[in-house]
Amino acid sequence: MKLKTAGESHGKGLFAILEGVPAGLKLDIAQIDAELARRQSGYGRGGRQKIEQDHVELLSGVRDLTTLGSPIALAVWNRDYENWKEFMAPEGCDVSSRRLTKVRPGHADLAGMLKFGTEDARNVLERASARETAARVAAGEICRAYLKELNVAVTGYVRSLGQVFGGREYTFEEIQTGRRPLLGMMEEAAEKASVSLIEEAKGAGDTLGGVIELRVKGLKSGFGSPMTYQEKLDARIAAALMSVQAVKGVEVGGGFSLAHEKGSAVHDEIFASDGKFFRNTNRAGGIEGGMSNGEELVFRAAMKPIPTLMKGLKTVDFATGRPAVAAPERSDTCAVTACEVVLESALCFALAEIVSERLGGDNMAQVKERYERL
Ligand code: EPS
């Protein structure tokens, strides 16, 4: 499977081409739209989400809601384009307005201007914006449908937000049913404390990040390979998660905490019963030697606070070379809930890609039969 996205934050829309989806996969547009809506949700989001009501339009590769095996092209149109076409239209527009030169620390502005040889950070930030993830979520939902046919399920939740931490570990089923709608956290007390923290940050013109946990249930063993470093499951999934805007760290299973323990307290001991292997712990996060081992996959990703601060950080005006306060573009105070949704989508694509490489198959019946046989 291959996925490409295109589109600018205030351009006509966000687009994806997903290639390699077998024929015969049933799609549910309402389900894709529900996940797009969840990507727009979360306490602490900015004004843009009041303008948009993201909806997927399937443009090719699908007939009567069933995939054909051909590349799937899809669009999520930007409603805000109406307000921006004067400054963004590919066919010609006013590029002297809406310039951004007071480059934002932590954003793509400065490095991008130097790299692409432009004096307007808008030429970079429009693509670097996390709005791109709308296309990834729409495509990711098609990948989730593919995985669901094999009884592989993906879920996740917001584990911490700023300095607010959740209280305990949760089972896959608890996460699937117990995630709270306001912030995607699991506990009411943590959610309340997070809402106050977001209010406080908003008042101060500041932003907040958090940690997201992701789980995969039902993936059989043997996906990924230690034979070449490029094929390692943990490496490929870490790369997929790190590709999501603002993600600065990824852990697998016990992650960083494992480095502080002795081996005897880290590795999951192996038992067998009725010819089946099992473990009573899962500190490996379901991956050993770069392969799935049949246990749940467990990942955590750290999202940094969004770099657009209303209060503005110290910077330099690219146009004058003089000290300045970074441009306060409209943005979110906190988008950790949206990031959780996007990370699930990125994970769904990465897994579908890895699974389809091993199984091949022109149609879903073939894919299912091959998976059953493993
Ligand atoms: C986003 C849309 C953007 C931002 C945010 C995410 O909308 P606008 O720039 O029109 O307010 O809210 O983008 C960023 C955080 C960023 O750094 O660019 C979205 O739809 O997710």
- Tens digit of pLDDT for each residue in 123-168? 999 999 999 999 999 999 999 999 999 999 999 999 999 999 988 9
Stretch 300-323: mean pLDDT, rounded? 96
With beta carbons less than 8 A apart as the criterion, state whether 28 and 319 touch: no
Helix, strand, coil tally for the chain in percent (to 5): 35, 20, 40
**CA–centroid distance, residue 339 to ligand 1 (Å):** 12
**Quick one: pLDDT band at residue 48, thresholds 50, 70, 90?**
confident
The DSSP H or E segment spanning 335 is none
pLDDT of 214 > 80? The answer is: yes
Stretch 97-117: mean pLDDT, rounded? 97
With beta carbons less than 8 A apart as the criterion, state whether 1 and 18 touch: yes
The strand ranges marked E within the chain are 2-6, 13-19, 56-60, 62-63, 66-67, 72-77, 153-161, 164-165, 210-217, 247-252, 270-273, 276-279, 287-288, 291-292, 297-303, 314-316, 323-325
CA 159, CA 155: separation in Å to the nearest integer?
13
Atom of ligand 1 lying closest to residue 39 CA: 21
The CATH number of residue 85's host domain is 3.60.150.10
**Quick one: pLDDT band at residue 215, thresholds 50, 70, 90?**
very high
Stretch 308-330: mean pLDDT, rounded? 93
Q: Which residues constitute the domain of residue 39?
A: 2-373
CA 304, CA 313: separation in Å to the nearest integer?
16
**CA–centroid distance, residue 38 to ligand 1 (Å):** 15
Give residue ranges with CB within 6 A of ligand 1: 9, 46, 48, 80, 129-131, 133-134, 306, 308, 330-332, 338
Tokens of 334: 């906190």
Atom of ligand 1 lying closest to residue 332 CA: 12
**Quick one: pLDDT band at residue 331, thresholds 50, 70, 90?**
confident
Q: Inter-axis angle of helices 336-359 and 133-148, to 10 degrees?
A: 50
**CA–centroid distance, residue 306 to ligand 1 (Å):** 10
Number of domains in the chain: 1
**CA–centroid distance, residue 81 to ligand 1 (Å):** 13
**The model's pTM:** 0.97
What's the angle, vertex CA 157, arms to CA 152 and CA 162, rounded to 5? Answer: 150
Q: What pLDDT is recorded for position 126?
A: 97
